[in-house]
Amino acid sequence: MKFAQEFRKALQREGFPQKWVDSAVPYGQLKKCLKKVTNELHELGLDKDTLTQLAASQKDPSTVAFYYHLDGAAANSKLFRPRLTFFVHIQDGVAVDAKLTPSTRDFLEKIASSTGKAQNITADESAQISAQIGPANFTEASGPFSPRHISPSEDEAVSIQRVEVPLVFDSEFFDILQTDVFNLDALQGEEQDKMGKEIMLLGQDINKATKPSKGRKARGDMETWRNIFELYLDARVFFSTRENDHGARTSPQAVKQLNWFQDQVLSRKLAYGLKLESSRKAYTRFLSVNALLLQILKFQEINSLAVTKILKKFDKRTSLGVSRVFPITVKSNHLLAGSVAKDLCAQMSNDLISVVPQLDDYLCPICFTVAYWPVRLDCQHIFCSRCLVKMSRKGESHCPLCRADVVMRASLENFDSKRASFLREYFPKEVKEKVRANERERNKEIFGPDYSDSLCSIM
């Protein structure tokens, strides 16, 4: 299937909002315009083959150089203007470059002789061209350029003239494309803002609903949310921070990961486990946020693919080589930057997932169980009291994380009571288990290694 057709079908199939579809890349219009560009070039004797040949021969010092620029934004517009510039060897009004076809030569001579369009090039420019096509041809560059070593016979007066080729339809083409990229960028920024607000609100609602102080149901739901978010983080739906597949996901990958996540939630009956009405509603909203994120990602993908395709087509038809420079020149913050997934995922973990504290963030770095009782050393690192007691018994006085000499200085003052009550509130199960384990360990120290909990029941 041709891309134009594929693109149109994808826009229909995905059920994007009409507003999005209306601002999608006008691929068909661009294709028509590209036809006008190629016709225009053809009429000037600068058809694709000629340009390809000229580009290939630029390494040869005796031939013409040209380049196609996208920079030089117009004074009161964000839009840049494309410019096609030739550097032609002119001798007595005749273009002497052997590689030029008769019609191209004709055209360049004509345009060079008409005033204002052609100028002798400056030293700056000669350096620029040298950099582009190799230093050999411009060894004598200084002042208004008049090199001696470029013509086969050195005595003849040959000058290099800059000839700017006035094209109409390439400007039109890039106007359409740039305007559309700007509009799409704005639209995507708008959608991202909206989504960001929804993520924040959702986080606040879940936080409010599952405050442990609100009772048993709230505490139960908080556990469930924690499991849901743990699975969600595991799924790395839109962005992976793992080393082996680091980076943003493509939409098919995201769909796969999202399905995996939902299957897991279903098979573990987590969503059913939510007791509060507000929690269940929040879960539905959470799924909608993900579905919308997926839509944004898909829309961004196919539009940025359309831009790539049309630029490739442009290059294929003209040999002007813009597909590489356009994305850099146009400075797209969203569409071509492809950062949507990363941005929103960062927000998701900041504003949403963090409202339900995850155990991983509260583990003692020595024993990897919840850091309870929490002792905050002078270096601000927190460990469980048990591990610190063991360390000081062994005479280890340095913090295992930062090597500061702080362990022996720890006293009752370092007990973090605020953290302790936070842990009791948010991780009651883990705290209880840890207290029990601490007791077991202490009893073993007192009663010997054969001590076990069962002894208590016998007594």
Q: Which stretch binds Zn ion (CB under 5 A): 214-222, 325-333, 376-384, 411-419?
A: 376-384
Site for Zn ion (CB under 5 A): which residue of 328, 402, 408, 455?
402
The Cα–Cα gap between 421 and 372 comes to 10
Q: How far is the CB of 241 from Zn ion (least distance, A)?
A: 25
Exposure string over 29-60, b if 16+ CB within 10 A, otherwise e: ebbebbeebbebbeebbbbbebbeebbebbee
Q: Which of 131, 158, 162, 136 is nearest to 147 (CA)?
A: 158
**What is the rounded CA–CA span in Å between residue 126 and residue 87?**
10
Q: Where are the alpha helices (DSSP H) in 250-363?
A: 251-267, 270-273, 277-318, 326-329, 340-347
401 versus 435: smaller Cβ distance to Zn ion? 401
From residue 220 to residue 249, what is the string marking binding to Zn ion with x (rule CB under 5 A)? ------------------------------
- 366 interacts with Zn ion by CB under 5 A: yes
Are 49 and 38 a contacting pair, CB within 8 Å? no
Report which residue type is found at 26: P
Sole residue written with tokens 């991202």: 192
Q: How many CA atoms lie within 13 A of 390 on its CB side?
A: 12
Contact of 223 with 232, CB cutoff 8 Å: no
Q: Which is nearer to Zn ion, 346 or 402 (CB)?
A: 402
Task: State the Cα–Cα distance between residues 206 and 357, nearest whole angstrom.
Answer: 12
**Residue number with CB closer to Zn ion (186 or 387):** 387
Cβ nearer to Zn ion, comparing 156 with 445: 445
**Stretch near Zn ion under the rule CB under 5 A, chosen from 5-13, 59-67, 100-108, 385-393:** 385-393
Residue 379 is a binding residue for Zn ion (CB under 5 A): yes
**Whole-number minimum distance, CB 398 to Zn ion, in Å?**
8
In the complex with Zn ion, which residue's Cβ is closer, 127 or 406? Answer: 406
Q: How many degrees, rounded to 5, is the angle at CA 309 between CA 306 and CA 312? A: 150
Tell me: does residue 382 bind Zn ion (CB under 5 A): no
User: What residues between 157 and 196 interact with Zn ion by CB under 5 A?
Assistant: none
**Binds Zn ion (CB under 5 A): choice among 384, 391, 407, 410:** 384
By CB under 5 A, tell whether 25 contacts Zn ion.
no
Q: How far apart are CA 230 and CA 239, in angstroms?
A: 15
DSSP state of 300: H
β-sheet bridge partners, residue 85: 67, 164
In the list 110, 117, 381, 424, the residue contacting Zn ion (rule: CB under 5 A) is 381
Q: Which is nearer to Zn ion, 379 or 435 (CB)?
A: 379
Minimal distance, residue 366 CB to Zn ion, in Å: 4
Residue 408 or 455: the one with the smaller Cβ distance to Zn ion is 408
User: Which residue's CB is nearer to Zn ion, number 286 or number 362?
Assistant: 362
Using the rule CB under 5 A, give the single segment among 21-29, 289-297, 305-313, 394-402 that binds Zn ion.
Answer: 394-402
Q: Are 266 and 287 in contact (CB under 8 A)?
A: no
Map residues 313-342 to x or -, x wherever contact with Zn ion holds by CB under 5 A: ------------------------------
Number of residues that bind Zn ion (CB under 5 A): 10
d(CA 136, CA 58): 12
Question: Across the strands, what pairs with 163?
Answer: 86, 118
- Work out whether 408 is an interface residue with Zn ion (CB under 5 A): no
Among 367, 389, 420, 437, binds Zn ion (CB under 5 A): 367
Q: Residue 308 region, left (φ>0) first, then alpha (ψ -120 to 50), else beta? A: alpha
Residue closer to Zn ion (CB basis): 276 or 366: 366
Sequence letter at residue 319: S
Strand partners, 118: 163
Closest CB to Zn ion among 287 and 367?
Answer: 367
How far apart CA 102 and CA 365 sit, in angstroms, is: 78
Angle at 204 between CA 202 and CA 206, to 5 degrees: 70
Tell me, residue by residue from 346 to 365, as one string, x for binding to Zn ion by CB under 5 A and - for no binding: ------------------x-
* 252 to 291: interface string for Zn ion, x by CB under 5 A: ----------------------------------------
Among 292, 401, 435, 437, binds Zn ion (CB under 5 A): 401
Residues in contact with Zn ion by CB under 5 A are 364, 366-367, 379, 381, 384, 387, 399, 401-402
